[in-house]
């Protein structure tokens, strides 16, 4: 699970997720969803990068996409 400030607009959440996930490689796209619970669908350039990302944040993978659950960041 990735902690971010969920009180900001989706575009800002997307930018924060992109910056965080870029440590694993090139991020191709990020789509933020808030219902039924907050998550980001992060597309990386390779499956290896996707697998590392998902392993770090406990997410699931679908090809080069990782589904990462988002949680409200605490102070």
Query: What is the Cα–Cα distance from 49 to 53, expressed in whole angstroms?
Result: 6
Q: Which residues contact 44 (CB under 8 A, 6 or more apart)?
A: 21, 24, 25, 26, 27, 28, 50, 53, 64, 65, 66
Per the confidence metrics, is the pTM higher than 0.85? yes
pLDDT at 74: 87
Nearest of 40, 43, 33, 32 to residue 65 by alpha carbon: 43
Max Cα distance, the chain (Å): 34
pLDDT at 13: 97
Reading the chain (75 residues) residue by residue, the pLDDT tens digits are: 999 999 999 999 999 999 999 999 999 999 999 988 999 999 999 999 999 999 999 999 999 999 999 999 986
């Amino acid at each position: 699970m990735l902690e971010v400030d969920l009180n900001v607009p989706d575009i800002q959440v997307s930018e924060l997720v992109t910056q965080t996930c870029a440590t694993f490689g090139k991020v191709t796209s990020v789509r933020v969803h808030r219902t039924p619970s907050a998550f980001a669908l992060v597309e990386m350039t390779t499956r290896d990068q996707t697998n590392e990302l998902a392993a770090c944040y406990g997410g699931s993978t679908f090809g080069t996409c990782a589904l990462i659950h988002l949680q409200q960041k605490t102070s």
